[in-house]
Amino acid sequence: MKNHINSLLRRLPLLFVVATATTGNAKPPNIVLILSDDQGYTDYGFMGHEEIETPNLDQLAKESTLFRRGYVPTALCRPALSTLITGLYSHQNKTTGNDPARTPANQAHAEKAGKDARELLLTHIDRTGALPQWLAKKGYVSFQSGKWWEGSFERGGFTEGMTKGYPNPGGRHGDAGLAIGRETMKPVTEFIDRSVEAEKPFFLWYAPVMPHTPHNPPARLLDKYLKKGVQERIAQYYAMCEWFDETCGTLLDHIDDAGIADDTLVIYVTDNGWIQKEVGGYGPRSKRSPYELGTRTPIMFRWPGKIPPADRPELCSSIDFVPTVLAAAEAEGPHDFPGLNLLPQLKSGEAIERDTIFGESFAHDIADIENPQASLLYRWVIQGHDKLLLTYDGATGSMRYPPENAEPQLYNLKDDPKETVNLAEANPAKVQQLSALLDEWYVPNQRQAGKLAPTAR
């Protein structure tokens, strides 16, 4: 049973599982998380994009158990990463947005504690704990690179890392760690080599801010897409996707060349989606939104010899990342987690006994750092191919693309993957059924569905 858990984690991208093993003879796997930043789920060769070239991730997909219908519960940078590291939904870990809003509620919290609201927001991870801390109890060393919002790398329990974090200058979401991928891979490859030499299992957080803005790819890649006739802003984004793919190739080649591929579970996921606009910026149904191009992502698990390559049809969620990884490492967290341990099914190829997943969206800035419902804008549920999206009257603050319509939205994702036809009015029974599932998940008793927040003045 334990070995099954270990196998799952090696291939599950961002899915954690809580499980207890019955055998402890096998060496725990290294865990490598590859985290793309602001990339649409369609924007890979293996996902069928006609122009974007991603040969290294295409190869990873062939070697992995691939879930094309993967999701992140909250499609925004910091909340998505917080779910990955804590194993909790945003309404549970209370990190629902990127920054505290300047509201009376947050001012009151700051005055009571005698600390800045940004510092108080960091205390959420102190309360929940984080994956590297739990892995350390099983002898793991860990390395943080790339984007990291929760203060210094030590605060997340990493034994090594690059981010000094708030309140240091540039520490809002990564400082020195942001050089990874764009400027160098050396700190990552050197950590791998040190860990192998010391015969220590390791956890690597590889979260380069790519293809995230600034879209400043090498000229050789940009020229490739311009020559294809792609509009310049779009070409810049496409080239960033390929540049990110190249860094993934460097990382995966180093793992393979070090002779540790069979001992390493590689997991791939994206924090949130992206629609590149020709005038710059992102489209309204991508980053931060609860729609498919915001919250959907391919999820991959590679563990040679343990997890057979497969193209799986089931739903998968990054909420599964922590319990699955803990299971693979034969480690335990301080409490139960809402995600599933996918390792047994990853190893056996048997179907996951779940046909329903959940998600939620909040304002970019957090209206009340101690009350997630204050900023709640959407909750959504997918059961099979049916998706229900409910809108709530949480405070939007000053944000791009606030909700404009509070009516329930029901989509058939199989027939309408772009969510163009709202079936809610014609299918009230289905709306009621899926709404009941959302309330079984949790009840936001301070918010009202079907209503927009008052317009700020």
Q: What is the pLDDT of residues 130-159, one digit of tens each?
A: 999 999 999 999 999 999 999 999 999 999
Residue 284 has pLDDT above 80, yes or no: yes
Spatial distance between the Cα atoms of 196 and 329, rounded to a whole number of angstroms: 16
- Give 47-85 pLDDT, tens digit per residue: 999 999 999 999 999 999 999 999 999 999 999 999 999
Nearest-5° angle of CA 13, CA 19, CA 22? 125
Q: How confident is the model at residue 18 (pLDDT cuts 50, 70, 90)?
A: very low
Instruction: Assess contact for 51 and 238: CB atoms under 8 A.
Output: yes
5 pLDDT above the threshold of 70? no
Cα–Cα distance between 365 and 162 in angstroms, integer? 26
* Residues 276, 88: Cα–Cα separation, whole Å: 30
Helix (H) or strand (E) holding 114: none
User: Alpha carbon 430 to chain centroid distance?
Assistant: 29
Q: Which two tokens stand for residue 40?
A: 């649409």
- Residue 454, pLDDT score: 84
Report how far residue 319's alpha carbon sits from residue 74's, in angstroms, rounded to the nearest whole number.
Answer: 10
pLDDT band at 23 (very low <50, low <70, confident <90, very high): very low
Share of the chain above pLDDT 70, in %: 94
Q: How confident is the model at residue 27 (pLDDT cuts 50, 70, 90)?
A: confident
pLDDT tens across 223-260, in order? 999 999 999 999 999 999 999 999 999 999 999 999 99
Q: What is the pLDDT of residue 383?
A: 98
Handedness of CA 78, 360, 276, 300 (dihedral sign): positive
Residue 51 tokens read as: 């122009």
Mind listing the pLDDT tens digit for each residue in 398-455?
899 999 999 999 999 999 999 999 999 999 999 999 999 999 999 999 999 999 998 6
CA distance linking residue 396 with residue 393, whole number of Å: 8
Helix (H, G, I), strand (E, B) or coil at 96: coil
Among 37, 14, 41, 71, smallest CA distance to 293 is for 41
Task: Classify strands 30-36 and 202-207 as parallel, antiparallel or unpaired.
Answer: parallel
Counting every residue, how long is the chain? 457
pLDDT digits (tens, 9 = 90+) for 163-213: 999 999 888 889 999 999 999 999 999 999 999 999 999 999 999 999 999
Residue with tokens 């099914």: 345
Burial 423-440 (b: 16+ CB within 10 A, else e): bbeebeebbeebbeebee
Tokens representing 97? 């947005």
Quick one: pLDDT at residue 456? Answer: 56
Structural tokens at position 190:
């050197």
